């Protein structure tokens, strides 16, 4: 079976006992394999190899109404800034014209959000919609059920958090956390 997952440089993929290090990956002295590029990780069980396929050239640009995926770079009281990773509209992948996007506190959800630090943490992966674009960058919104955090990491030990019956929990240290979650959160445990 072949499973696919979007990964970032430095992201842990597997141990060398599980999968050998393929294209766009590297291994460390402890035999752990990491991604060295943004792309889709292919875990090839037949060859026992993991590789990262980089994104192919995409022509159409992302604009207002496009959905983006971004990594939280920093969190302020009234806005967060995302490093944009990919964009799409109606399933078609688009070219990003900006490397970052900002999300204002008023555009997070219909509910009153007091402090963004309670809903987003650095390193989280967020799905958002472009609602404004200008020469300085893009403005984003997460005001829809499928928008918000799709992957989050434990603020204590950095393990990926699992979603257990609506609650985010670290399987490694047991920490419970909250986020502005997307209905498409990646690691759901029922």
Specify the stretch interacting with Zn ion by CB under 5 A; choose among 22-30, 82-90, 125-133, 170-178: 170-178
Token representation of residue 28: 């460390």
Does residue 170 belong to the site contacting Zn ion (CB under 5 A)?
Answer: yes
CA distance 54 to 33: 17
* Site size with Zn ion, rule: CB under 5 A: 8
Specify the stretch interacting with Zn ion by CB under 5 A; choose among 69-77, 90-98, 147-155, 177-185: 147-155
Contact 116, 84 (CB under 8 A): no
Does residue 161 belong to the site contacting Zn ion (CB under 5 A)?
Answer: no
**Nearest to residue 127, comparing CAs of 112, 145, 114?**
145
Q: What are phi and psi of 105, to 5 degrees?
A: -55, -35
Specify the stretch interacting with Zn ion by CB under 5 A; choose among 5-13, 31-39, 103-111, 154-162: 154-162
Does residue 172 belong to the site contacting Zn ion (CB under 5 A)?
Answer: yes
CB of 156 to Zn ion, least distance (A): 5
Does residue 114 belong to the site contacting Zn ion (CB under 5 A)?
Answer: no
Strand order in 49-53's β-sheet?
Answer: 2-7, 39-44, 49-53, 20-21
Does residue 173 belong to the site contacting Zn ion (CB under 5 A)?
Answer: yes
Does residue 115 belong to the site contacting Zn ion (CB under 5 A)?
Answer: no
Does residue 176 belong to the site contacting Zn ion (CB under 5 A)?
Answer: no
Strand partners, 141: 129
CB of 121 to Zn ion, least distance (A): 12
CB of 131 to Zn ion, least distance (A): 34
**How far, CA to CA in Å, does 119 sit from each of 82, 100, 115?**
14, 19, 8
CA distance 124 to 186: 12
Does residue 156 belong to the site contacting Zn ion (CB under 5 A)?
Answer: yes
Give contact residues for Zn ion (rule: CB under 5 A).
Answer: 154, 156-157, 159, 170, 172-173, 175
């Amino acid at each position: 079976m072949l499973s696919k997952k979007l990964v970032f440089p430095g992201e842990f993929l597997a141990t060398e006992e599980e999968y050998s290090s393929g294209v766009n990956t590297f291994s460390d002295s402890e035999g752990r394999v990491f991604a060295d590029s943004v792309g889709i990780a292919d875990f090839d069980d037949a060859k026992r190899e993991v590789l990262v396929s980089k994104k192919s050239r995409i022509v159409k640009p992302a604009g207002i109404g496009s959905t983006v995926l971004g990594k939280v770079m920093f969190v302020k009281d009234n806005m967060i800034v995302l490093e944009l990773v990919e964009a799409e509209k109606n399933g078609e992948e688009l070219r990003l014209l900006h490397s970052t996007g900002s999300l204002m506190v008023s555009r997070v959800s219909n509910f009153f959000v007091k402090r963004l630090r309670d809903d987003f943490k650095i390193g989280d992966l967020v799905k958002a919609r472009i609602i404004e674009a200008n020469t300085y960058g893009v403005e984003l919104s997460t005001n829809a059920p499928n928008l918000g955090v799709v992957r989050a990491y434990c603020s204590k030990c950095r393990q990926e958090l699992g979603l257990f019956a609506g609650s985010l929990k670290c399987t490694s240290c047991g920490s419970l956390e909250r986020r502005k979650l997307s209905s498409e959160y990646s690691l759901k445990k029922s």
